A and B are shown apart, each in its own frame.
Chain A
Amino acid sequence: MRSKTEAALVGLNRCLLAVLVFGMLVISSRNGWAATEIPANWVVVESEHFRVAVSDRHRRDAGPILEYAEQARDRMAAYLGEEPVSGVTIFLYDRATFPSSPSSAWAEPRSREIHLLAPSAQTQEDRRWADARWYEKNIFHEYVHIALEPLAGSRFQRQLFWLNEGLPEYLSVYQSTPAIRARYRHYDQEIRDLMRNGETAFLHLPWTYGTAAIFVRYLEEEYGEGTALALWRASSGLMSGAVVSILGVTPTELEERWIKWLDETY
Chain B
Amino acid sequence: MDQVAGRNVLRAVSDCRSRGRRQGGRSAKGQRLARWWRERGYLPLSSLMISVALCSLVSVPAEAVSWERLEAGDFVIFYAPGYERDARLLASWVDDTRALVHRFLEVDGLTTVRVYLHPKEDWSRSPYQAYAQPHDRSVHFLTPADSPNESVWYRKNLIHEYGHLVVKHRMGRKFWGYRHLPDWFEEGLVEYIAVMASDDEIRRNYRHYFDEMKTVVHRGDTSFLFRTNVYAWGIFTIAFFLDRYGHQALLDLLGSRARTFAQAFEQVTGLTAGEFSGEWAAWLPEYIDTLDWVRGASRQ
Closest B residue to A203 by beta carbon equals B273
CB distance from B245 to the nearest CB of A (A): 15
| Cβ of A129 under 8 Å from chain B | no
Indicate whether A252 reaches chain B with its CB closer than 8 angstroms.
yes
In the complex, whether B180 has a CB less than 8 A from a CB of chain A is yes
- Decide if B183 touches A160 in the complex (CB within 8 Å): no
Q: Is B274 a contact of A201 with CB atoms below 8 Å?
A: yes
Among B165-203, those with CB < 8 Å from A are 180, 182-184
Residue numbers of B with Cβ under 8 A of A are 180, 182-184, 219-228, 237, 260-263, 265-266, 272-274, 276-278
* CB of A106, distance to nearest CB on chain B (Å): 15
Instruction: Select which of A156, A203, A251 is within 8 A of B184 by beta carbon.
Output: A203
Residues of chain A within 8 A (CB-CB) of B278 are 252
Which residue of chain A has its CB nearest to the CB of B220?
A240
Q: Does A3 contact B (CB under 8 A)?
A: no
Residues of chain A having any CB pair with chain B under 8 Å: 156, 159-160, 162, 197-199, 201-206, 237-241, 243, 251-252, 254-256, 259
The reply to whether B219 and A238 form a contact with Cβ atoms under 8 Å apart is yes
> In the complex the two chains form, what is the Cα distance from A28 to B279 in whole Å?
51
Report A35 CB to chain B, min CB distance, Å: 27
* Other contacts beyond A160-B228, A197-B260, A198-B273: 19, CB < 8 A: A197-B261, A197-B262, A198-B260, A198-B262, A198-B263, A199-B260, A199-B262, A201-B262, A201-B273, A202-B274, A206-B182, A237-B219, A238-B220, A239-B219, A239-B226, A240-B219, A240-B221, A240-B222, A254-B225
Closest 3 CB pairs of A and B: A198-B262, A201-B273, A251-B223
**How far apart sit A204 and B265, CA to CA, in the bound complex (Å)?**
10
Q: Point out the residue from B228, B260, B265, B272 that lies within 8 Å of A159, measured CB to CB.
A: B228
B176 to chain A, nearest CB (A): 16
Considering the complex, give the chain A residue whose CB is closest to the CB of B183.
A206
- How many Å from the CB of A174 to the closest CB on chain B? 20
B219 near A201 with CB under 8 A, answer no
Which of B180, B184, B220, B223 has most chain A Cβ within 10 Å?
Answer: B223
Residue pairs across A and B with Cβ atoms less than 8 A apart, 14 shown, are A198-B262, A198-B263, A199-B260, A201-B273, A203-B273, A204-B273, A205-B182, A206-B182, A240-B220, A240-B226, A251-B225, A252-B274, A255-B223, A259-B274
